[in-house]
Structure 1
Amino acid sequence: DVWYSFTAAVDGTYTVTIDETFDSGFTSTYVSAYEGSCGALTQIGSSTSCFNTSNLIVTTVSGQTYYVNVRSSSATNYTEFDLCIYVNPPAPANDDCENATPISASTDSSCNNVISGTTQSATDSTDGCGTSGRDVWYSFTAPADGDFVITETETFDSGSTTTYVTAYEGACGALTQVGSSTSCTNSNALTLTAVSGTTYYVNIRSSSATNYTEFDLCIFQLVVPENDACENATTINAGDSISGSTVGATNVENLTVCSGGTVGTTCDPGGDSSPNGGTLVFGTGVWYVYNSPGNESISIEDSAGAFDSEIQVWSGACGSLVCVAGDDDSSNVGSGGFVCFDSEAAPTTYYIYIDGNASTGVGNYTLNLNTTPLPPANNLCSGAEALTLGVQATGDTTNATDSGVAAASCGAAGADQDIWYSFVATATGQVDIDTDADTAAVYDACGGTEIACVGTGVTNVDGLVDGTTYYVRLYNTGTAKVAGPVVLTVTESSLSTTDFDNNIVFSYYPNPVKNTLTLSAQEEISNVTIVNMLGQTVLKAAPNAVSKELDMSSLSSGAYFVQVTVGNAVDTVKIIKN
Structure 2
Amino acid sequence: MKKSTFLWVFMCCMVGTLFAQTPAELSEIQAAKADQQMSVNLQELMTRLDNVGDTSMPLTNFFTANELQVLRSYSRPQSANRLADIIPTAGATESFSPVVGDFIYDPSDGVNGGPGGDCSTTSSGDLGDYPNCDCITVTTFNAPPGEEISVTFNSFRVFGAFDWFAIFDGSGPVTATNGSGSATNPTSGDPELWNSSVDGDELVDMINAGMTTFTSTSGSLTFASRFSGVVNTCGWEAEVVPAGGGGGGGITTPTVFGYEAVSEMYGSFDPVAPEVFTAISMGAADGTSLELTGDVDPNNPTTAYVSTTTPNFYSMDIETGVYTLIGPQALTFIGTSFDPTSGILYGYASDANLYTIDLATGAGTLVGPTGNTGLADLAITGDGDAYGHDLAADQIVSIDLTTGTATPIGPTGFNANFAQGMTWDPNSDTVFLASFNAANFLAEWRSVDLTTGATTIVGNINDPNVSEVTWAGIPFVPPMNDDCSGAVAMDCGDVETGDTNDFSDTGGFNASPDAWYSYTGSGDPEFITFSLCDGGTTYDSRLTVFDSCGGAQVVSNDDSCGLQSEVSFLSDGTTTYYVAVEGFGTTSAGPYSLELSCNPVAANDLCDDAIEIACGDVVAGSTNFATIDTAAGSCAGQDITAAGVWYTYTESIPGFIQDINLSTCDDADYDTKISVYSGDCGTLTCVAANDDGNGCSGFTSSVDFQSDGVSTYYILVHGFGTATGNFNLTMTCSPVPPPNDMIANSIDVDEIGFPYTDPAVNMPGATTEAGTPADCDNAGVQGVWYNFVPEMGGEATATVTSPAGYTSVTFYTADTEDSVETDLTLVDYFDNQCVPGADASILVTAGQVYYVYVANTMGVTDIVIDGDFYLGTGDTEIAGFNYYPNPATDQLNLSSGTGTIESAIIYNILGQEVVSREIGSNNAQLDVANLSVGTYILKVVVDGELGIYKIVKQ
TM-score normalised by L of structure 2: 0.32
Larger Rg: 2
Higher share in helix: 2
Higher share in strand: 1
TM-score normalised by L of structure 1: 0.49
